Structure 1
């Protein structure tokens, strides 16, 4: 097959995303929503913020440990995905920077280009980097696509029944957003899985045909590049063993279960709920995350805080706001600061120590 150039990852755009100064945008958005929730609740007072000291220390520690195991799951998955081409240290830095990139970009966009760039600078070829990032996205989205119906089977039609706003209009609003988000995720996952595993050339052909129509012609060049990249990524996925697929699939389930179990631990720090209620809390998180995935704000800032209050105030009562803040501190803001801290060190290592120079990527 003749060689065709694949576009180089734009380093300038990547570093525009991997900018430590960007941490203040989602922080201000999140704090803005917290202040709104505080002042819009007539029963809220400054003294109620002191309720954070009522938290059970052992449950807070458990929440942190569960969060740590989730990160270990991420590190294990990326190392397994890459055939252990990454060292443990590199895998840890890749995951933390990937989390940082996802935190400073809208959830609907994610840190895909940044993740590819990070893997490139760790010494992986473009095709492999692209394939691993795409496969990660497909696995994560597939978890949502498969688990959401199970939630409705478990809870029934009452997933949105106990929203704190209490109005039918608000309930329907969340329901509609969920349906839109779930549909988009399902369609995207189906198309990407088909293109990556079944017919990458057919996917390229469809892109070219689609961009041959009227005003879509302006994106024809990008369509050709996207098609070439999909073929390259698909080629990298060939020949994987059954144990490979089993390991990364189980790791994906573990990662998301640990992410949700962290909030269960956190809620247990403020209030006593029984096992069935814990299962409902766990299940509602799946629905909440699907809603958050189409948020236009960096790291779902604002959307996450509002959704948390609506879904879990029924269990937390007066502790809702402090639990909300603790949840975002552990699951989101922590990674903003860690990413901003390790980014300069990672740049020094990959640019001035390893001196990787990947200028042109080719399709065999």
Structure 2
């Protein structure tokens, strides 16, 4: 029994360290401020219907993740079923939550789809297209919100313009490079090489050849994916539309938590914008689950709304948007391994 326990701990050591780190940050906030006192006061006045809506929004985000994946999967494999796609989506949430820069989600999704019988190249194409469409929608979504709420956050959040502009430029540059690579691989190569040489000249890039190879390989993945998936405009429009709904639901979670605290002064659009900015800032944090960065950015953007209740708000928000992903992602990873260990037998669309 002890040997099995030690083996399980060694196997999941990284996940355990991640959870301990994130939980430690939350406990630090609670016990080094008045957070624990505020939490006790809020629990007595909590409005359960609004808290239920915040949890429901998170669950619907999971469902829509599976739905989008299923749309892309059945485009290549008509007999693919939603249950498989939902499990793959939850596995993505799980491993994105426990790996630095959320880098483990997509490879584990491809690995899982391969075990379910999907061709590795086609699985990679589906995940690549899903990732790209999400990034495109997220950047456009953030641009609209920046245009709507720029003045408010500029006057309310210190260094807001710097953080937002860096985030938008970084994400937009990657998307533009991918799009350009799909149109002209030669032109993109020249641009990437020129930029890397310039950065190397400024002593900002120590190994230009290795950096170019990594960028080129990543761009090629999206290029190959676009050829495999084809040019189905209707499919991409539906996928992007559903992604807009998914991002909106995720951005509504802090507002529902806010209302569950019996607060109602802040406009819903402003809080949705704040959550979009939190998501963008958190993406720069290299720790698993953006630990520290997620809590810090939430504190910066939402402190003006929650005031003395900000620490309990962070606690509830992280439980719903992070710890639930790990808990239920782990459950569905186990279910997928047991239930979908029989590879699909249908031939993919060509």
State the TM-score, normalized to the length of structure 2.
Answer: 0.81
Aligned position for 2:151: 157
Q: Residues 330-349 of structure 1 correspond to what in structure 2 (within 5 A)?
A: 330-349=320-339
Aligned position for 2:38: 48
Match of 1:198 among 183, 190, 198: 183
Q: Does 1:182 pair with 2:171?
A: no
Q: Does 1:35 pair with 2:38?
A: no
Q: Deviations over 1:199-252 (max 9, x none)?
A: 356657877999999954457876776566444323113232x32122101111
The runs of 5 or more residues in structure 1 that have no matched partner are 1-18, 164-170, 357-363
Aligned position for 2:3: none
Q: Deviations over 1:333-357 (max 9, x none)?
A: 0111122233334334555x4399x
Match of 1:81 among 65, 72, 76: 72
Q: How many residues align?
A: 325
Q: Does 1:94 pair with 2:88?
A: yes
Q: Residues 61-80 of structure 1 correspond to what in structure 2 (within 5 A)?
A: 61-80=52-71
Aligned position for 2:8: none
Structure 1: how far apart are the matches of 2:216 and 2:135?
25
Relative to structure 1, is the Cα distance of residues 45 and 208 closer, same or farther in structure 2, using a 3 angstrom cutoff? closer
Match of 1:103 among 77, 97, 108: 97
Match of 1:250 among 241, 247, 252: 241
The runs of 5 or more residues in structure 2 that have no matched partner are 1-10, 201-205
Q: Deviations over 1:271-300 (max 9, x none)?
A: 3324x6111111111111110111111111
Kindly indicate whether the alpha-carbon contact (under 8 Å) linking 1:131 and 1:237 is maintained by their aligned counterparts in 2: yes
Q: Secondary structure at the match of 2:74?
A: coil
Aligned position for 2:121: 127
Q: Deviations over 1:276-331 (max 9, x none)?
A: 61111111111111101111111112111111122112222232211211111111
Kindly indicate whether the alpha-carbon contact (under 8 Å) linking 1:200 and 1:230 is maintained by their aligned counterparts in 2: no
Q: Which has the higher helix share?
A: 2
Q: Secondary structure at the match of 1:120?
A: helix
Aligned position for 2:138: 144
Structure 1: how far apart are the matches of 2:297 and 2:213?
40
Compute the displacement of 1:93 (Å): 0.5
Q: Does 1:354 pair with 2:305?
A: no
Kindly indicate whether the alpha-carbon contact (under 8 Å) linking 2:35 and 2:309 is maintained by their aligned counterparts in 1: no
Match of 1:315 among 285, 290, 305: 305
* Deviating more after overlay: 174-183 vs 330-339: 174-183
State the TM-score, normalized to the length of structure 1.
Answer: 0.78
Kindly indicate whether the alpha-carbon contact (under 8 Å) linking 1:56 and 1:269 is maintained by their aligned counterparts in 2: yes
Kindly indicate whether the alpha-carbon contact (under 8 Å) linking 1:30 and 1:301 is maintained by their aligned counterparts in 2: yes
